[in-house]
Amino acid sequence: MELTTVWFVVIAFLWTSYFFLEGFDFGVGMLLPVLGRDDVERRVVINTIGPVWDGNEVWFIVAGAATFAAFPEWYATLFSGFYLPLLAILLALIIRGVAFEYRGKRDDARWRSRWDKAIFWGSLVPAFLWGVAFANMVRGVPLDADHEYAGTLADLLSPYALLGGLTTLILFVLHGAVFLALKTSGTIRFRARRIADLAVVAAIAAGGSFLLITQVQYGKPATWLTAAGAAAGLLLAGAANRRGREGWAFIGTGAAIVLAVATLFTALFPDVLPSTLGSGSLTTANAASSDYTLTIMTWVAAVFTPIVMIYQGWTYWVFRKRISTSQIPVKRPVP
């Protein structure tokens, strides 16, 4: 297998891991005002991802860095053509990260309410725009002969791209609801399960439509299997959630996200960013770095990727127990 193909697979793995892990972070953030009826419940919701959210974002940094190093033409064209959506994503992630850190710095209801809104919008905006961005990568964008973006912002907001954004938004809400049901006990757990019951129906409708259009217009024979597997994952999640089997439900939503992203990357290959103008498409061949660079990167990835995975797995194991409102100390006014 050529190194360019190897690194396409590696980058697909990094983005898939990011969406699987950060997906439930986004879902939890979007569900914060829905499931948290008071400050104690909101603290429980936030604490479910408190030890892991920043580690999950590492996959985004690594995926972006790997794209830059392995396929610099791809990276450059993405950040020039998709500048406004990617800037909105970065700003939302920054605001969301600050909100997690600053929310508890003052014992003031208005102060916490403002940061709760920042967590909600800082989760919703990336959840939607990542779907828009990846749908455009599969569909293709106007690229000239020099591989430069020749379109406008409106070209990125096609019905197919907006459906992609809606799909990731709903999938992440479902993923987050199932994660909250898995990580909490008491009333929050049962509220999360009820929301998951509703979200799985919406996810099947939106995700099924998006993947069917993707398969018909851009798919390959192999993507029938991954798309069908994603649908099966959603059905598993719905059935397991109704029976109170949150672990299996989480496996189902995780499988749906992983296989949906695999469908997109498989449909895209060997292109990395097709052109709708008939020429100027970026492929794994013309967008890649030199073989020497890719060889060094391969050795680095082979050493450090397992270390990161082992450390993050250990983190999840340490913080595996459920939490509830009874574990949140009540703040009492100083006399």
Q: Is residue 262 part of a domain?
A: yes
Q: Is residue 334 part of a domain?
A: no
Q: How many CB atoms lie under 10 A from the CB of residue 229?
A: 16
Q: Is residue 43 part of a domain?
A: yes
**pLDDT tens-place string over residues 243-271:** 999 999 999 999 999 999 999 999 999 99
190/195 Cα distance (integer angstroms): 9
**pLDDT over 80 (residue 76):** yes
pLDDT for res 334? 41
**pLDDT tens-place string over residues 109-125:** 899 999 999 999 999 99
297: CB partners within 8 A, 6+ apart? 7, 66, 69, 70, 289
Q: Is residue 165 part of a domain?
A: yes
Give the range of the structural domain holding residue 294, as residue numbers without chain letter: 3-83+124-327
Q: What average pLDDT does this structure show over 159-176? A: 96
**pLDDT over 60 (residue 332):** no
pLDDT above 70: percentage of residues in the chain: 98
**pLDDT over 50 (residue 128):** yes
146 — pLDDT class (breaks 50, 70, 90) = confident
pLDDT for res 330? 65
Q: How many CB atoms lie under 10 A from the CB of residue 191?
A: 20
Q: Is residue 91 part of a domain?
A: no
Maximum C-alpha span of the chain: 73
pLDDT for res 331? 60
Helix 159-183 × helix 246-268 angle, to 10°: 150
Provide the domain count of the chain. Answer: 1
pLDDT for res 1? 65
**pLDDT over 50 (residue 335):** no
Q: Which of 12-16, 147-151, 316-320 has the highest mean pLDDT?
A: 12-16
**pLDDT tens-place string over residues 268-288:** 999 999 998 877 789 999 899
202 — pLDDT class (breaks 50, 70, 90) = very high
130/151 Cα distance (integer angstroms): 19
CB neighbour burial string for 92-128, b if at least 16 within 10 angstroms, e if fewer: bbebbbebbeebeeeeeeeebeebbebbbbbbbbbbb
Q: Is residue 233 part of a domain?
A: yes
Q: Is residue 243 part of a domain?
A: yes
Q: Is residue 76 part of a domain?
A: yes
